[in-house]
Amino acid sequence: MRKVKFDQEIYTFHIDFAGHVSNIVYVQWMEIGRLKLLAAAGLPVEKIIHDFGLLPTLIETKIRYKQQLFLGDQVRVEVWLSRLKNVSAIMDFCFFNQRRQLVAEGSQTGLFIDAQTHRPTPLPKAAHQRFQPFVQENEGS
C-alpha cells in the first residue's frame, strides 16, 4: 500500500487562543492531503469533474487529537485509503511531529456525486483501479 506523505510548516496564523495549533488547521491539512492523494492516483479533482462528471464530496470528518503542536514545530501528514467502494471511500490520516510522535489521527468519508443529479454515482472501473495502490491491505470489512 502506498501512502501520500508531506510536511507542513506551522505558522503564526495556525495558532489559536490557547497557544497551540488550532483544531481547524488539521481539517485544512486533511484537505491538502486529499487533493494530493487524488493527484498521486492520477485523478486530480479537475479531471474527475471534467472526464467523469463526478464531484468528490466529503460527508464526514473525524479527528482524534493526542498531543499539541506549537509554533516552531513541523508536522508530517500521511494519507491513504482504508476503504474504497463503488461510490465511496474512506481516507485515513496520521499526523506526526518532527520527533515522529503521533499527534493526531483522523479519517474522512467521501462520496462520488454526479455533477448533474447530485446523487451518489459509481466511479468508473478504470478510475477505481487508479486508487487501488493507496488502499490499505487486509481491510477489515
Q: Provide the whole-model pTM.
A: 0.93
Mean local confidence (pLDDT), 65-91: 97
Pairing between β-strand 54-65 and β-strand 102-114 as defined by DSSP bridges: antiparallel
Strand partners, 8: 75
Q: Give tens-digit pLDDT for 16-69.
A: 999 999 999 999 999 999 999 999 999 999 999 999 999 999 999 999 999 999
| Confidence (pLDDT) at 138 | 56
| Confidence (pLDDT) at 140 | 46
Cβ(76)–Cβ(100) below 8 Å:
yes
| Confidence (pLDDT) at 34 | 97
Q: Give tens-digit pLDDT for 128-138.
A: 999 999 999 65
**Which CATH superfamily groups domain 4-131?**
Hotdog Thioesterase (3.10.129.10)
| Cα 114–chain centre separation | 21
C-alpha span between 80 and 96 (Å, rounded): 15
Q: Give tens-digit pLDDT for 105-123.
A: 999 999 999 999 999 999 9
| Cα 7–chain centre separation | 14
Q: Is the dihedral of CA 94, 96, 101, 106 positive or negative?
A: negative
